[in-house]
Amino acid sequence: MRMLITGGAGFLGASLANRLVEEGHTVLALDDLTAGDPRRLSRQVLLTRGDVRDVPKLWTLLQGVDCVYHLAARVRVPESVHYPAEYNEVNVGGTVALMQAMRDTGVRRVVLASSGAIYGEQEQQPVDEAQTPRPNSPYGVSKIAAEYYTSTLGMLYDIETVSLRIFNAYGPGQDLPPSYPPVIPQALRQAQTGGSIVIFGDGSQTRDFVFVDDVVEALVSAATASSANRTVINIGSGQEVSIRELAAHVVRVTDKQVSILYNPSVSGGVSRLVADVRLARDLLGWAPHTSLEDGLRLTLERDPRFQAG
């Protein structure tokens, strides 16, 4: 197959692109390189630098494409609070531009990388796809809007659509920016360098951490799943882990003497969030295989940033 991945040089996009070229597919990647890194990509991936809102560029890239993976997005939840207009422009506007360009070029399937962040605070756990979204950040709002645009425009333009609500993905090569770093690579760096792991709130808040290889498996399956059209599907580990428990796992796998510090003045976010992944099993034939501790060890082994400590 001929595939286009928007955000193809990012953490998830590059992992997916490299997997697809290994399977013999022709893979094109579009990335503005704001967070993407070409060094992540196999030489067989055809990378174009550009903005996902650039419709003429999309027309060129989409010629003969069988399936699009739409991963291009701004993804830092705290940052979205400060820059909601940019998150709306890129995450929502980019999705609309892509769907229009797909209509114009006759591409017939798109897989959207959505997010578990759309759920917000929910009384029922694990959360399933039928629950009403209650996003508590502009990022979450942008993702639910992207889902609606993808599904609605897909119906109007006769494009098959699958939206995967990916929970807290992690693994080797994940971005570690100086501001708003993701929790797992930040904790691993703090442990490996002899620092302290800082936990916001009291650490009782729970999350669902899913290893990158498992996410890639789900994305690959979604491109050809015959009964998944017009669906939204949770992709997570299905395991609920508190931030305190995560810190204990990090200490164990790094085998370091690490201090755990709590910062109660900063919110830890929603109190609980874990994915019900039964629909993914039914529609994609997919299940997560990597435990959190195994995923942390694999991250340490494969990511050179953590090997010097």
Distance CA 107, CA 59 (A): 10
* Residue 139 annotated in active site: yes
| Catalytic residue of the set 87, 119, 139, 149 | 139
Instruction: Annotate the chain with three-state secondary structure.
Output: CEEEEECCCCHHHHHHHHHHHHCCCEEEEEECCCCCCHHHCCCCCEEEECCCCCHHHHHHHCCCCCEEEECCCCCCHHHHHHCHHHHHHHHHHHHHHHHHHHHHHCCCEEEEEEEHHHCECCCCCCECCCCCCECCCHHHHHHHHHHHHHHHHHHHHCCEEEEEEECEEECCCCCCCCCCCCHHHHHHHHHHCCCEEEEECCCCCEECEEEHHHHHHHHHHHCCCCCCCCEEEEECCCCCEEHHHHHHHHHHHHCCCCEEEEECCCCCCCCCCCECCHHHHHHHCCCCCCCHHHHHHHHHHHCHHHCCC
* Structure-token pair, residue 74: 């701004």
Catalytic residues: 139
